[in-house]
Amino acid sequence: MTLTNVVTLGLAAQTEGAQEVHEASGLISTTWLLIALPLLGAAVLLLGGRRLDRSGHLIGCAAVIGAFAWAVVLFVDMLSHDAHERAFSVPLWEWFNAGGYEVRLDLLLDQLSIAFVLLITGVGSLIHVYSIGYMEHDERRRRFFGYLNLFVAAMLLLVLAADYLVLFIGWEGVGLASYLLIGFWQYKPSAAIAAKKAFVVNRVGDMGMVLALASMLVVFGSTSFEIVFAGADGAQTGWLNTIGLLLLLAACGKSAQFPLQSWLLDAMEGPTPVSALIHAATMVTAGVYLVVRSAAIYDLAPEARTAVILVGTITLLMGAIIGCAKDDIKKALAGSTMSQIGYMMLAAGLGPAGYAFAIFHLITHGFFKANLFLGAGSVMHGMNDEVNMRRFGALRSAMPATFLTFAVGYLAIIGIPPFAGFFSKDRIIEAAFGDNVLIGLCAMIGAGVTAFYMTRVMLLTFFTSKRWEDDAHPHESPRVMTWPLWALGFLSVAGGLGLLYIGGGIVDWLEPVTGEEHHDLPLPVAVLIALTMTVVVLGAGVAWFMYQRRPVPVQAPAGNPLTVAARKDLYGDAFNEAVLMRPGQYLTRSLVYVENRGVDGAVIGAATAVGGLSARWRRWQTGFVRSYALTMLAGAGLIVVAMLLVRVP
């Protein structure tokens, strides 16, 4: 199958090179403030100690909101430049210079970066505000906000870096923040284990990143975007494919894509704002950012792009299927996240035809998924931290604000026009069809499954009958939590339309960075939309029949084999355990055995031998001067003998 169109690639590369990066001046040169503000917030909160316990959340919020405000200022400033002159490099300082390898700690603010910056700081601000209410009764709230600020700073560094190595700092920084926040309730063993799992799985991806960095050094002699992208044209396709695949591995780790998807579901052990911010809206999309940012490499690496498409397609279906079977509301949403990022990956793999849509969907997804997660958190907040949807039901009257915003998010994610998800997801499906019918069909089926599981979540939570625990007294969350919900709900409604049509829309906005191209579609756009909508309605209808028309048992039924498999994350953990963990353990055990018996044995044996010998030889040290004299005489005699032997011919 022809997943890529080689002819248009050359064009894309040309448009790619069209945008020149300007040295920043004026306001833009203060881009570093974006990172510095939350970093300062994190430092103050984490180093300030208990005296900040009462004001910590305000400091944390102020840092992020300040960063958001500054991002808006920079955005407006960018608008004053021409469309193709909106990329600015913000030189800070030379990080290190080792031989011919120089790394400058520079920032790159362009259309892609600012989109991310706005998403991260905007959604981040809302989630920070929401967390004030959500974490109100947690005595370590100050630390929570410190970690959140640390995350925001690292994420901003990730998207603003102008060098893969600097990007890697942010990459690891968000990994650290993710680890800290997943395991925030570290007294729960499940949370500690989930944090560890996320960390370990991410290490696999990071290895890909490190190897990609090393490969770049070999091929281009540098890791800076400028040099790498400029040199990609002349590099061997084999190397580009290698780098592309390694970057994909890194992206898979960070974005929970197949085959490194297993950590995301467990990561829901963290507080819900964390799930919303890190494991739905921002951090998990870093992989998509990485792929889109590396467009210059992927444009020239067809095999790597094919791999990206395959990974995205597999994950979007896997995530959707997993989402259908989970009773834990957060895990259902996590499966959904995997699936939606799969869409983005798929779009990113389509090349210039899909980059913009990947980012578009990423941003709308950031809106509505944060909305959904925060809504779920609000539900949990009102239901004594209950997460099992089979214990929810008929909550729409008990928490109307949550219901309404959640419903908006629901409509957005299943892609009902004119909600945000419709525009972004539909574009991806169209682009997928433009590339390959089979992939397009998968994406379309995925949309149907999405409709199914989201309808299921919606129905189980807010409709159907009450299946509450006896001591549950559902109530609406405080305003500090509902306001962010309203804001995100609004974005879920208007985000799609707004991004698509205001001022030429996000596609034009990103075009200087990502390039643009169109494929001929096998079917008219209207037919595709109609088909997609049909599938979506079909999925929603099936869910309505299964859950609204029939009573929902509190205990999960046995289910068919697919359900069982989906409940077990499609055996992702079992696979990891059987293929990686067990052999790894056997390997380590055998290595330990070899170490103990072989290496240690040799060392200890040598030590024992020396000890034994010295114990023997110690007997010679009698302390009797006459014994020593005897030895001396014998030695002198031996010397005489030796001299004679040498002399005598």
Nearest distance from C-beta of residue 629 to another protein, angstroms:
5
DSSP string across 618-644: HTT----HHHHHHHHHHHHHHHHHHHH
Look at strands 88-98 and 22-23 and give their pairing: parallel
- 561 or 623: whose CB is closer to another protein? 623
Strand, coil or helix: what is 95? strand
- 50 or 619: whose CB is closer to another protein? 619
DSSP string across 41-89: HHHHHHHHGGGGTTTHHHHHHHHHHHHHHHHHHHHHHHHTS-TTS--EE
Nearest distance from C-beta of residue 609 to another protein, angstroms:
19
Is 641 a binding residue for another protein by CB under 8 A? The answer is: yes
Is 629 a binding residue for another protein by CB under 8 A? The answer is: yes
Q: Which of residues 177-236 bind another protein (CB under 8 A)?
A: none
Q: How far apart are CA 99 and CA 221, in angstroms?
A: 11
> Among positive and negative, which fits the CA dihedral 486, 488, 489, 491?
positive
Indicate which single residue of 6, 47, 624, 645 sits in contact with another protein (rule: CB under 8 A): 624
131 touches 273 (CB < 8 A): yes
Is 640 a binding residue for another protein by CB under 8 A? The answer is: yes
Number of residues that bind another protein (CB under 8 A): 17
- Region of 82-90, 223-231, 584-592, 640-648 interacting with another protein (CB under 8 A): 640-648
Nearest distance from C-beta of residue 635 to another protein, angstroms:
10
- 602 or 643: whose CB is closer to another protein? 643
Indicate which single residue of 1, 592, 634, 642 sits in contact with another protein (rule: CB under 8 A): 634
Is 636 a binding residue for another protein by CB under 8 A? The answer is: yes
SS (H, E, C) 179-224: HHHHCCCCCCHHHHHHHHHHHHHHHHHHHHHHHHHHHHHHHHCCCE
Strand, coil or helix: what is 474? coil
- 91 or 635: whose CB is closer to another protein? 635
Q: How far apart are CA 504 and CA 441, in angstroms?
A: 29
- 26 or 623: whose CB is closer to another protein? 623
- Region of 3-11, 157-165, 421-429, 639-647 interacting with another protein (CB under 8 A): 639-647
Indicate which single residue of 525, 591, 630, 642 sits in contact with another protein (rule: CB under 8 A): 630
Lay out the site mask for another protein across 565-604 (x = CB under 8 A, - = otherwise): ----------------------------------------
Nearest distance from C-beta of residue 197 to another protein, angstroms:
56
Nearest distance from C-beta of residue 201 to another protein, angstroms:
57
> Among positive and negative, which fits the CA dihedral 223, 225, 231, 233?
positive
- Region of 255-263, 349-357, 453-461, 634-642 interacting with another protein (CB under 8 A): 634-642
- Region of 220-228, 510-518, 555-563, 632-640 interacting with another protein (CB under 8 A): 632-640
Nearest distance from C-beta of residue 610 to another protein, angstroms:
16
Is 637 a binding residue for another protein by CB under 8 A? The answer is: yes
SS (H, E, C) 293-343: HCHHHHHCCHHHHHHHHHHHHHHHHHHHHHHHHCCEHHHHHHHHHHHHHHH
Nearest distance from C-beta of residue 636 to another protein, angstroms:
7
Say how many C-beta atoms besides its own lie within 10 A of residue 194's C-beta.
22
Compute CA 256 distance to the chain's CA centroid, rounded to the nearest angstrom.
6
Contacts with 393 (C-beta within 8 Å, 6 or more apart), sequence order: 460, 461, 462, 463, 464, 465, 466, 467, 468, 552
Distances (CA, A) of 162 to 42, 109, 226, 279, 551: 23, 8, 8, 24, 55
Query: Within 472-624, where are the H helices?
Result: 479-501, 505-514, 525-543, 561-567, 572-575, 582-593, 601-618
Apex CA 355: angle with CA 538 and CA 120, to 5°?
90
Nearest distance from C-beta of residue 646 to another protein, angstroms:
14
Nearest distance from C-beta of residue 605 to another protein, angstroms:
24
Q: How far apart are CA 205 and CA 562, in angstroms?
A: 28
Nearest distance from C-beta of residue 607 to another protein, angstroms:
19
Nearest distance from C-beta of residue 608 to another protein, angstroms:
19
Contacts with 603 (C-beta within 8 Å, 6 or more apart), sequence order: none
Q: How far apart are CA 491 and CA 367, in angstroms?
A: 6
Q: Which of residues 26-45 bind another protein (CB under 8 A)?
A: none
- 2 or 621: whose CB is closer to another protein? 621
Nearest distance from C-beta of residue 645 to another protein, angstroms:
12
Nearest distance from C-beta of residue 616 to another protein, angstroms:
13
- 93 or 624: whose CB is closer to another protein? 624
- 7 or 615: whose CB is closer to another protein? 615
Indicate which single residue of 633, 642, 645, 646 sits in contact with another protein (rule: CB under 8 A): 633
Is 627 a binding residue for another protein by CB under 8 A? The answer is: yes
- 503 or 611: whose CB is closer to another protein? 611
- Region of 135-143, 197-205, 507-515, 638-646 interacting with another protein (CB under 8 A): 638-646
Indicate which single residue of 137, 549, 616, 626 sits in contact with another protein (rule: CB under 8 A): 626
- Region of 47-55, 183-191, 207-215, 623-631 interacting with another protein (CB under 8 A): 623-631
Nearest distance from C-beta of residue 642 to another protein, angstroms:
11
- 558 or 625: whose CB is closer to another protein? 625
Distances (CA, A) of 569 to 201, 204, 628: 15, 19, 79
Token pair recorded at residue 9: 């690639």
Token pair recorded at residue 486: 């309203």
Query: Roughly what angle, to the nearest 10 degrees, separates helices 141-160 and 164-182?
Result: 160
- Region of 102-110, 119-127, 140-148, 629-637 interacting with another protein (CB under 8 A): 629-637
- 551 or 611: whose CB is closer to another protein? 611
- 580 or 633: whose CB is closer to another protein? 633
- 7 or 645: whose CB is closer to another protein? 645
Q: Which of residues 384-403 bind another protein (CB under 8 A)?
A: none
Indicate which single residue of 6, 7, 47, 625 sits in contact with another protein (rule: CB under 8 A): 625
Distances (CA, A) of 41 to 64, 113, 273: 8, 22, 18
128 touches 145 (CB < 8 A): yes
Is the omega angle on the peptide bond into residue 484 within 30 degrees of 0, that is, cis? no
Q: Which of residues 603-622 bind another protein (CB under 8 A)?
A: 618, 621-622
* List of residues contacting another protein (CB under 8 A): 618, 621-627, 629-630, 633-634, 636-637, 640-641, 644
